[in-house]
Structure 1
C-alpha cells in the first residue's frame, strides 16, 4: 500500500508517504539526507517516509491532501531511497480510491440496531463488505465508496477494519465526508444517479452537481 499526501500549510515542500497503518508499538525515525523513515521500533516494519524538498525530486507535483503518484514517480522515489541508504520498498498503487459502488445486498448487523452490512460491487469485478450506519442506505443504490487506501478530505485514512465484530473494507460516503459544497447537514450517504456504472472513478465536480440538484428538489 502507498498513500501519498501534500500539506503545504503544515509541512512545506514535504511529501508524506504512508505504507502501513500505525501499530501499537513505539515508533522510531531515521533520517538520511532529505528522507525520514518512520518505522515500528519492535518489528522494524516501515510505516512510511517523509521526503523533504520534494520539489527538487518530483518537480511539478502539486496538490493538497492525497496525491496519486505515477509508476515513474514512484521509481524516482525508490532511487532516492536507495541513494540515501534505505531499501527501495515503495510500490506504485494506480487504482482509484474513490469509486462508484452498487449496493448489491444489505442485511441488518447482527450486533447493532442501526448498522447495516452491505455487499458493494466496485471496480475490477471486486465486491467489498462494508458496514454502514446511514439511515438512507438501501439495496440497489449507486453510492460513493472510499476504498481502503483512500484519504478523506479531513485527513482520515480508510484502513481495513471491523465494526462490532463484522469486517468492513471501505466506507460508503456522505456528501459532508467528501467535503462537497452545500452538502446537506442531515445524516445520510450521498446517493448517485443510477445510470453511472459501478466501478467508475468518482468525479467530485459531478457529485457537486448531484448535491445541488438534490438540494433544489427538496
Structure 2
C-alpha cells in the first residue's frame, strides 16, 4: 500500500494505492470527500481522500509515511463516508538496507541476475537485478513492494523473463542521491551498514 501526496500538481488529495493496476476502465465511486477506485470485478485498487489537510497534517511530496493513529483517522473517514472497507496498517519502512545472500545468472538473460536478498525482520526476498556490479555479499538498498521511487515509479511484485521478483535493488541515481555516479550500477553500502535498517532517500 502506497500513500502519496503532491499538493502542487494534484491538490490537497491523499492518494492511497492499494494494488498495482493499469486498467483504464476502472470505476470510481465518490462519497463525500472520499473516492474509491475499483476494477470491473469489484477489486479496490486505490482511494482518494480529498481536502485531507483539513483533518490530517500531511508533510512531504511523493510517498509519505503515516502513523498508526493517522491511518485510524483515515479509516474513520471511510466509515463516516459510508464505506465498509478499511485500510490495513503497515508501518514497516519501504527502503531498507539489504544483504545479497546469493546471486546467480538468470537462465534466460545475458545480463540479469537472480538474488536472494535479506531485508528487515529477517525476511529474504527474491529480486531480479540487471546491474552489472551486483554480487553476493554486498550491502545494498532495497525498495520493497509498496515503495515509491523519487521519480514516481511504484514498486510491485513482478516477473522478469519468467522469474518472479519482489522489489528492486537501487542505484544512487534512482534514489536521487547527491553526486550520484553516471556509470550504471547499484549502490553498494559500507560493510558496517545494518541489515534491515531504514534507508532515507532523496525526494
What is residue 5 of structure 1 aligned with on the other side?
A: 4
Note the alpha carbon deviations across 1:41-88, whole angstroms, 9 max, x for none.
Answer: x21111111111111121x22110101111111111111011111123
Match of 2:105 among 105, 108, 111: 108
Selected match of 2:47 from 49, 67, 88: 49
2:151 is aligned, of 154, 160, 166, to 154
Question: Does the CA contact (< 8 Å) of 2:176 and 2:201 recur in 1?
Answer: no
User: What does residue range 46-125 of structure 1 map to in structure 2 within 5 Å?
Assistant: 46-58=44-56, 60-125=57-122
Report how many residues are paired: 202
Aligned to 1:212: none
Query: 1:25 Cα shift?
Result: 7.1
**CA-atom RMSD in angstroms:** 1.3
Residue 135 in structure 1 maps to residue 147 in structure 2: no
Whether contact under 8 Å (1:115, 1:132) holds in the other structure is: yes
Which consecutive unaligned segments of at least 5 residues does structure 1 have?
Answer: 206-218
- TM-score using structure 1 length: 0.89
**Per-residue deviation, 1:182:** 1.6
TM-score by length of structure 2 reads 0.96
- Partner Cα separation in structure 2 for residue 25 and residue 31 of structure 1: 17
2: CA distance between counterparts of 1:11 and 1:93? 25
Which consecutive residues of structure 2, in runs of 5 or more, have no partner in the other structure?
A: none
Instruction: State the secondary structure of the residue aligned to 1:21.
Output: coil
Secondary structure of the structure 1 residue equivalent to 2:19: coil
In structure 2, the residue matched to 1:170 is 167
Partner of 1:190: 187
More divergent stretch after superposition (127-136 vs 21-30):
21-30
Offset of residue 189 of structure 1: 0.5
Alignment of 1:27-38 (within 5 A): 27-38=26-37
Pair 46,117 (structure 1): closer, same or farther in 2 beyond 3 Å? same
